[in-house]
Amino acid sequence: MPKTLGVIKPTLVAFEEPIELSRGGRLSRYDLIVETYGNLNADKSNAVLVCHALSGNHHAAGFYDGETKPGWWDHYIGPEKSIDTDLFFVVSLNNLGGCSGSTGPLSTNPETGEPYGPEFPEITVDDWVHTQARLADSLGIVRFAAVVGGSLGGMQAMQWAINYPERIGAAVIIAAAPRLTAQNIAFNEIARQAIVRDPNFHKGHYNKHGTLPISGVGLARMIGHITYLSDISMGEKFGRDLPRADHDSDGANFAIEQYLRYQGQQFSERFDANTYILMTRALDYFDPMDKKKKGLADLLRPANSKFLVLSFSTDWRFSPSRSEEIVEALVQANRQVSYARLESVHGHDAFLIPNPIYERIFESFMNRLHSELGAINSDQ
Kindly list the catalytic residues.
151, 315, 348
Determine if 315 is a binding residue for a second copy (CB under 8 A). no
Q: Which span (98-106, 176-184, 336-344, 368-376) binds a second copy, by CB under 8 A? A: 176-184
Using CA atoms in the order 187, 188, 191, 197, what is the torsion angle rounded to 10 degrees? -110
Instruction: For the CB of residue 55, give the shortest distance to a second copy in the complex, in Å.
Output: 17
In the list 28, 138, 253, 364, the residue contacting a second copy (rule: CB under 8 A) is: 253
Interaction pattern, residues 229-248, with a second copy; x per rule: CB under 8 A: xxx--xx-xxxx--------
Beta strands in 81-156 (DSSP E): 83-84, 89-93, 108-109, 114-115, 146-150
In the list 137, 290, 292, 357, the residue contacting a second copy (rule: CB under 8 A) is: 290
Of 154, 125, 82, 159, nearest to 309 by C-alpha is: 154
Size of the site for a second copy (CB under 8 A): 44
Closer residue to a second copy, CB minimum distance, 30 or 312 = 312
Secondary structure letter of residue 175 according to DSSP: S
Determine if 271 is a binding residue for a second copy (CB under 8 A). no
Instruction: For the CB of residue 239, give the shortest distance to a second copy in the complex, in Å.
Output: 6
CA 364 to chain centre: 22
Determine if 293 is a binding residue for a second copy (CB under 8 A). no
Residue 333 dihedral angles phi and psi, to the nearest 5°: -85, 5
Closer residue to a second copy, CB minimum distance, 193 or 338 = 193
Determine if 199 is a binding residue for a second copy (CB under 8 A). yes
Determine if 325 is a binding residue for a second copy (CB under 8 A). no
In the list 13, 40, 139, 185, the residue contacting a second copy (rule: CB under 8 A) is: 185
In the list 63, 64, 262, 316, the residue contacting a second copy (rule: CB under 8 A) is: 316
The 3-state DSSP class for residue 48 equals strand
Closer residue to a second copy, CB minimum distance, 132 or 314 = 314
Q: Which span (32-40, 97-105, 280-288, 358-366) binds a second copy, by CB under 8 A? A: 280-288
Q: Which span (10-18, 155-163, 213-221, 364-372) binds a second copy, by CB under 8 A? A: 213-221
SS percent in the chain: helix, strand, coil, step 5: 40, 15, 45
In the list 63, 119, 139, 287, the residue contacting a second copy (rule: CB under 8 A) is: 287
Cβ atoms of 268 and 198 within 8 Å: the answer is no
Residue 77 dihedral angles phi and psi, to the nearest 5°: -125, 125
CA 195 to chain centre: 21
Q: Return the ∠ at Cα 72 (arms to 250 and 77), rounded to 5°.
A: 160
Give the number of other CB atoms < 10 A from CB of residue 297: 16
In the list 6, 14, 110, 197, the residue contacting a second copy (rule: CB under 8 A) is: 197
H or E element in which residue 309 lies: strand 306-312
Cβ atoms of 64 and 106 within 8 Å: the answer is no
Determine if 63 is a binding residue for a second copy (CB under 8 A). no
Interaction pattern, residues 111-150, with a second copy; x per rule: CB under 8 A: ----------------------------------------
Q: Is the dihedral of CA 136, 46, 158, 12 positive or negative?
A: negative
Q: Is the dihedral of CA 254, 259, 262, 264 positive or negative?
A: negative
- How far apart CA 198 and CA 18 sit, in angstroms, is 34
In the list 257, 328, 363, 372, the residue contacting a second copy (rule: CB under 8 A) is: 257
Determine if 217 is a binding residue for a second copy (CB under 8 A). no
- How far apart CA 32 and CA 270 sit, in angstroms, is 18
Interacting residues toward a second copy by CB under 8 A: 179-183, 185-187, 189-190, 193-194, 197-199, 215-216, 219, 222-223, 226, 229-231, 234-235, 237-240, 252-254, 256-257, 260-261, 264, 281, 284-285, 287, 290, 316
